[in-house]
Structures are given as structure tokens and as C-alpha cells.
Amino acid sequence: MEDRIAALQTEAVAAIESATDRKSLDAARVTHLGKSGGITRLSEGMRDVSKDDRPRLGKLLNELRQAVNAALEARELALATESDAAALAALDITLPGTRSETGSIHPLTHLLDKAVGIFRRLGFVLADGPDIETEWHCFDALNTPADHPARNEQDTFYLPDGRLLRTHTSSVQVRVMESQAPPVRIIAPGAAYRRDEVDATHLAQFTQMEGLYVDRQVSVADLKGTLEYFFRELFGPETEIRFRPHFFPFTEPSYEIDIRAQALGGKWMELAGCGMVDPAVFEGICQKRGDRVFDPEEVTGFAFGFGLDRLAMNLIQIPDIRMLVENDLRFLQQFPA
Ligand code: PHE
């Protein structure tokens, strides 16, 4: 029996050490330690061994089992180390990594954020409305009759159901007055749409910023003071501002605003429309709401609206408005935030 144990140990350890992969190692394990393996059969043979020999042979058998298990473990570790080394050898750590791109803030967004920040300091809050508007919110409620040229099919994108892409953000004035009571002090930046032929100075979609302030005794002086403060904050204290009489159906009196600032190239620039909310607009809102909180005998207000795209173009001195929407990274990367 001793001889058989010794022979089996030599045989098993040799088989294990010569295993070149996991498969042959598993095979060696089964052959020697498995249910019908050599060691198992030897253990069964212990039954026929005399009582005196039993402790000694049992100990030998145990040592055999431990030796085989240790050999298996050592070989397994060696094989794993080998395959790790092979995998690492196939890896070229000198290859360049994948760069993560950092974005930058679009110049239009940058301008918009600054503008919003200034009006916020004056107590204006952001308001919003849908880009797809009803004719009523975009025109009728703003005192713009059906025969007004702005409503021409050639100028506006109409949907089959009669709604349209809003031609200005002034529709948000209406949405706000429908749902809130005075005092109202909002700004509403957003997209507006017109059926313009796209060229270097025109896009069919552009960005506007609307403002509305309604309270008791709001005056033209408030309008003028607010916008002067705003443009001087935005473009510098030496900015000059000019109010020219104009006409809008929903304001009376109405003005166009020109400004001149070094930041904008030092030339007069026609910029914005504004005026005192026309009493007819308040009257229409009262009818729609079914109450008199916007009674034009009680409240007054001013409104303004300006385009941001041309301002951005002047600020960053680009010759073509289409650059703002082409999403060309070479363009955008020139304006790190
Ligand atoms: N909605 C006008 C436009 O797009 C601008 C404007 C807004 C004028 C508010 C007066 C008051 O031209």
C-alpha cells in the first residue's frame, strides 16, 4: 500500500505539472481526485487494512491528498499568470487614448444668459409660450387685424389646422396676461419664425427676447429708463440709445430703438421695438379672462421685443448669420466661455 501511495503521488504531480491549459489540468484533477479516481479508490481500500496499519496509512493517504491539491493550486495560479501576461503583451499602452471633447457656450446662448441676468436683477422673471401658436395669441389678441400684412400667408408658416409658427415672442405677453394678474414683470426669450429667404442676413428662424411690465402708473419714463439701464449694462456705460417714433398695432405710443456702442462696432444699429401696451390689448384680455384685472383705466404697461441674432453677429463680428446655426465646431471653438 505504501508503494502504491508513493507511485500515485509521483504520477499525479507529474500529470498536473505538465498540464498546459485549464482543460488538461481539469482532466488531471478528475483522473486523480474524481469519484472513480486513483486516490478515491485507495481510500476505499482502507476498509481491508488491519487496525494497526490504519492510522499510519490514513496519514499517508491524507498527505497524498494534500500534495495533489497543492500541486493543482500551484499549477492553476501559474496558468492564470501566463494568460494574464499574454493578454498584457497584446495591449499597446503607447496607443493614444480617446479624448473627451469639452463643449463651449454658443455665442447666442452667452448673450442670452447675460441679458436674462440683467433683467432678473431688475425683478423680471422668465415666462414661456409655445412656438406653435394660435392666430389669436399671435395676432388678434395683439390688436393685429386679419388684413394686416404680417398675417399674409407669404410671411408666415401656417399649419393645416390653422395654427402657425409664432412670428414674434409677443404672443407670450398674451399668454402671461391670460394666466396672471398684475403686477406682471416678465421676459420671454425664444424662437420666432418668418418666411424669409435664407441668406447672409436672414434666417427663417431667429431668436427674440420679449419683455412686459404691467402695473398701476407704469409710464414711458419707466420704459425708457429700464431699456437704457439694460443696454448700458449689456454693452457698457457709454452706450447711446435713441427712441424713434414707430407703429406697432399692440403698443401706443410705439418706438423703435437704435443703439450705438463700441462693443457693437461703433455704428448706430436698429435694434428693438417697444411701446406702451395699447388699451385695446388690455380690453381683449379682459374679455378673454372674464374679469377686469387688466382694466386699461386701472393699469398701464410697457412691452418691448428685440432680436438677439444680429446683436450676437455684431458682438463677435461675423459677416453671415448662418454661422450661428451651422453647428460647425471650428466656428464654435473660437468662443471659449
Ligand atoms: N413684436 C415686435 C416685432 O417682432 C417687437 C415689439 C415687441 C414691439 C413688443 C413692441 C412691443 O417686431
Question: Is the whole-model pTM more than 0.85?
Answer: no
Do 220 and 269 share a domain, yes or no? yes
Model pLDDT for residues 20-30, shown as the tens digit of each residue: 888 988 888 88
Do 240 and 164 share a domain, yes or no? yes
Model pLDDT for residues 283-319, shown as the tens digit of each residue: 999 999 999 999 999 999 999 999 999 999 998 989 9
Does residue 103 come out as left (phi exceeding 0), alpha (psi in the -120 to 50 range) or beta?
beta
Give a yes or no: residue 296 inside a domain.
yes
Chosen domain end from 89, 124, 156: 89
Model confidence at 49: pLDDT above 90: no
Do 113 and 79 share a domain, yes or no? no
Give a yes or no: residue 337 inside a domain.
no
Q: How far apart are CA 287 and CA 278, in angstroms?
A: 15
Q: How far apart are CA 170 and CA 250, in angstroms?
A: 9
253 Cα–ligand 1 center, Å:
12
Q: Is the N-terminal amide bond of 55 cis, ω within 30° of 0?
A: no
Model confidence at 150: pLDDT above 80: no
180 Cα–ligand 1 center, Å:
21
Give a yes or no: residue 99 inside a domain.
no
Q: Which residues pair with 199 in a beta bridge?
A: 202
Query: Which atom of ligand 1 approaches the CA of 211 most closely?
Result: 9
Nearest-CA residue for atom 12 of ligand 1: 273
Give a yes or no: residue 96 inside a domain.
no
Do 146 and 215 share a domain, yes or no? yes
Nearest-CA residue for atom 8 of ligand 1: 273
Do 76 and 125 share a domain, yes or no? no
266 Cα–ligand 1 center, Å:
24
Is any ligand 1 atom within 6 A of the Cβ of residue 284?
no
Give a yes or no: residue 94 inside a domain.
no
Which amino acid, one-letter code, is at 280? A
User: Of 183, 133, 172, 137, nearest to 288 (Cα)?
Assistant: 137
Do 135 and 65 share a domain, yes or no? no
Model confidence at 90: pLDDT above 80: yes
Chosen domain end from 89, 119, 139: 89
Q: How far apart are CA 241 and CA 77, in angstroms?
A: 82
Give a yes or no: residue 97 inside a domain.
no
Total domains in the fold of the chain = 2
Residue 23: domain span: 2-89
Among 155, 168, 208, which is best to mutate for testing ligand 1, by the most ligand atoms less than 8 A from CB?
168
Give a yes or no: residue 287 inside a domain.
yes
Do 58 and 131 share a domain, yes or no? no
Query: Which atom of ligand 1 approaches the CA of 306 most closely?
Result: 5
Residue 278 maps to which CATH number? 3.30.930.10
Do 151 and 229 share a domain, yes or no? yes
User: Of 323, 115, 321, nearest to 333 (Cα)?
Assistant: 323
Q: How far apart are CA 306 and CA 248, in angstroms?
A: 13
Sign, Cα dihedral of 138, 143, 147, 148: negative
Which amino acid, one-letter code, is at 281? V
237 Cα–ligand 1 center, Å:
25
Give a yes or no: residue 199 inside a domain.
yes
